[in-house]
Amino acid sequence: MVRFDSSPDQEPIKEPLLRPTHQDVVECERLLEENETQFARRTFCRASFAFIETVVHWLKTLARNTVIAKGMEANSLNVSLISALLDQTARVERTGRIRLEPNMIPFLNHVALVFRTMAEVTGLGAEAFFSNTEWEHLRKALQVRHRITHPKNPEDLTVTDSDMDNIRGGLTWVFNRMVDIANREMEIEEEMKKGTHH
C-alpha cells in the first residue's frame, strides 16, 4: 500500500498551492488507519481528487508559460496548444464580440494534456507516462469519484477495496509523474549551468 504522508523521511511539498490539498490526503490516510469506514474511504477519494486537480492546475500554468517562452525563443508559437492550456476559450457572438467561456475539457483528457505537455517541454518520453497500469488506475478512480459524487442508488456510495487500490494507484501515477518532471527540470538546470543544454 502506498501512503501519502509527511513523515520525516519524505520530502515536504513546498509549493503553497499544493500543500493544503496534499495535507488533506495525509489526514485522510490517518483517518483510514484509525477507523476504515465508508465515510473515511469516500473522504479519501474526494481529498485525492482535490489534490490531483490542484496539481493539474499548477502544472498547467507551468506548462503554458514554458510553451509560450519556448515558442517566443523559437519565433514560433503553438497557438493551438496554448489555447488548450488556457482556463478560458474565446467564443465569437453573432455581433462579432468575443466572449470568454470556461475551457471545458474532459478531466482525464485535461490531465493527459498537461502531463504530456510537461513531458514534451522537458524532453521526457510522454508515451511512457500513459503506458502503465497506474494511468488505468486513475481512469478507474475517476469513475469511483463520479459514482460517489453523483450517486443513483445506495450501492454507489460504497468504496470497495478495489476502488481504494485504484484511487491509490491514480495518486501514485500523479506523484510519480511529478517526480519525473521535477527530476528532469533539475537535470536541465544543471545542464544549463554547465552550458551543455540545447
User: What pLDDT, on a 0 to 100 scale, did the predictor assign at position 1?
Assistant: 38
Global pTM reads 0.87
Beta-bridged to residue 90, according to DSSP, are 100
- Cβ atoms of 61 and 161 within 8 Å: the answer is no
Q: Which three cell numbers stand for residue 17?
A: 498551492
- Contacts for 62-69 with beta carbons within 8 Å, 24 or more apart? 62/118, 63/114, 63/117, 63/118, 63/121, 66/118, 66/121, 67/117, 67/121
Angstrom CA distances, 52 to 43, 88, 98, 178, stand at 14, 20, 32, 11
Per-residue pLDDT tens digits for 9-38: 566 677 888 999 999 999 999 999 999 999
Residues of the chain predicted below pLDDT 70: 1-12, 197-198
User: What pLDDT, on a 0 to 100 scale, did the predictor assign at position 9?
Assistant: 57
